[in-house]
Amino acid sequence: MSGAAYESVIGLEVHVQLATRTKLFCGCLNVYGADANTNVCSVCTGQPGALPVLNGFALELAVRAGLALGCAIASRTKFDRKNYFYPDLPKGYQISQLERPVNGEGSLRFVNEAGEERVVRIARAHLEEDAGKTMHPDGDRSSLVDLNRAGIPLLEIVSAPDLRTPQEAYRYLTELKRRLRYARVSECDMEKGSLRCDANVSIRPAGATELGTRTEIKNLNSFRNVERALAHEIERQTAVVEEGGSVVQETRTWREDEERTETLRSKEEAEDYRYFPDPDLPEFELEEERVDAIRAALPEMPDVKRARYVGSLGIPEATADVLTADRDAAEWFDACVAALPDGGDAKGVANAVTGVVLALANDQGVSIADLRLTPERLVEVVGLVDDGTISRQAARKVIAELDAGDEAPAEVVERLGLAQVSDEDALGATVDEVIAAQEKVVEDYRGGNENALNALVGGVMKATKGKANPQLARELLIRRLGGAGG
């Protein structure tokens, strides 16, 4: 049988660290990169008698995430103990949610690599605490443990096995991250560990409805590696089946250096977690008014924004994608649209934001929201381009100057002498000079060489030190020389 006889089935388990100030059940700070064991207390190190108190803001962020993912929010929720022994887990159990997760079923919509709209179901998204970190210093026979991370709030988002290709997994993750960042739930930075992903994958004969035996891949440190690891794992499973064997349910690890997955532990070694309700954290009600208030405070989600940009503002899809990739950029653009006069050039503004302003922020290593340039000023500059006062090229300079000082656009144009020569008489004289000086090029043009016209426009631009309105220069040249071959 050929490889195309099989289809792959993928489900992702994503952990995100919630952007709270403090941990899930104690007042220790939730910060990245602090000295080892400096953000710890009797609760998060599991001292006898210490009692957990739920962080209300963590709960709010979990609900916010649930709403951003279209999840049904539980009316009652509770915490359970998941028991296992590991040096990074001081209590001997992790507080998690088994039976009544804060967020029930939801879904995530995205466009896949074939351009098809896909809706992937989310099975649940529950709260739990993070574990500490063990370290094994090189050349040392001892191991170290850092409990700063122990007790940091996590949301585990479990997808249904609805993804079909590694590329879809990549796109699902990208959209998930975009939504969670819009909702300001988490940084979702895989490099800093604030987003982690375990990938489950199986294969089955194409057209089958039953699920095949899956493996789970851990230690994935980027979306690209999730995609790569899945592709390799699908290849491996397919080879196993084609050779007459069967896939063994197990946990595998991605060896980035060797571009392959390898067995970490088999199903037989899988732990029994002996879950039971945490007696220190009684079940409680999530009031509807509280959920409604959180819903009301959610920003417009990126897919809705994108549809609005394309549909009612006439912005090209690719530009709308760039604008909505980041909430700060989208809101900065929204502020531009708000400042736009009636019938203003939204598309021109969108191009300036994606083509110039985002690059400016990027060069400075800051968010677009922290630029000195304001949306109102940018709209003025685009207006100057549209009415022919300055060229697109000059607009770039003006924008950079606006971000460096407190001048108004018109002042920058004046100071740098960037106003275009759009006056026919003034430009006509220069056009005549260029025609007289470039006999050979004029001859080429008259002989039918259209490119020669560009050279002549270039000549006019050079003679005016870039200030000529290139459109007008072209028109005047054609008027004087007649059409090509004329």
Q: Which does 371 bind (CB under 5 to 8 A by kind): Zn ion, ligand ADP, none?
A: none
d(CA 270, CA 64): 33
Nearer to ligand ADP, 25 or 79 (CB): 79
Q: Which does 201 bind (CB under 5 to 8 A by kind): ligand ADP, Zn ion, none?
A: ligand ADP
Q: What are phi and psi of 138, to 5 degrees?
A: -55, 140
Nearer to ligand ADP, 199 or 427 (CB): 199
Least distance (Å) between residue 64 CB and Zn ion: 23
Least distance (Å) between residue 249 CB and ligand ADP: 9
Q: Which does 13 bind (CB under 5 to 8 A by kind): ligand ADP, Zn ion, none?
A: ligand ADP
Q: Which residues pair with 9 in a beta bridge?
A: 202
Q: Name the nearest CA neighbour of 79 among 58, 95, 60, 55.
A: 95
Least distance (Å) between residue 25 CB and Zn ion: 8
Least distance (Å) between residue 56 CB and ligand ADP: 28
Residue 126 exposure: Cα atoms within 13 Å on the Cβ side: 18
Q: Which does 9 bind (CB under 5 to 8 A by kind): Zn ion, ligand ADP, none?
A: ligand ADP
Handedness of CA 440, 445, 448, 454 (dihedral sign): positive
Q: Name the nearest CA neighbour of 66 among 106, 26, 24, 30.
A: 106
Least distance (Å) between residue 233 CB and ligand ADP: 11
Tell me if 113 sits within 8 A of 133, measured CB to CB.
Answer: no
Q: What are phi and psi of 76, to 5 degrees?
A: -130, 140
Q: What are phi and psi of 34, to 5 degrees?
A: -75, 160
Chain residues binding ligand ADP by CB under 6 A are 9-13, 158-161, 200-202, 211-212, 214
Nearer to Zn ion, 43 or 73 (CB): 43
Least distance (Å) between residue 196 CB and ligand ADP: 14
Q: Which does 41 bind (CB under 5 to 8 A by kind): ligand ADP, Zn ion, none?
A: Zn ion
SS3 252: strand
Nearer to ligand ADP, 57 or 273 (CB): 273
Q: Which does 44 bind (CB under 5 to 8 A by kind): Zn ion, ligand ADP, none?
A: Zn ion
- By CB atoms closer than 10 A (0-12, 13-18, 19+), residue 318 is exposed
Tell me if 353 sits within 8 A of 323, measured CB to CB.
Answer: yes
Nearer to ligand ADP, 135 or 211 (CB): 211
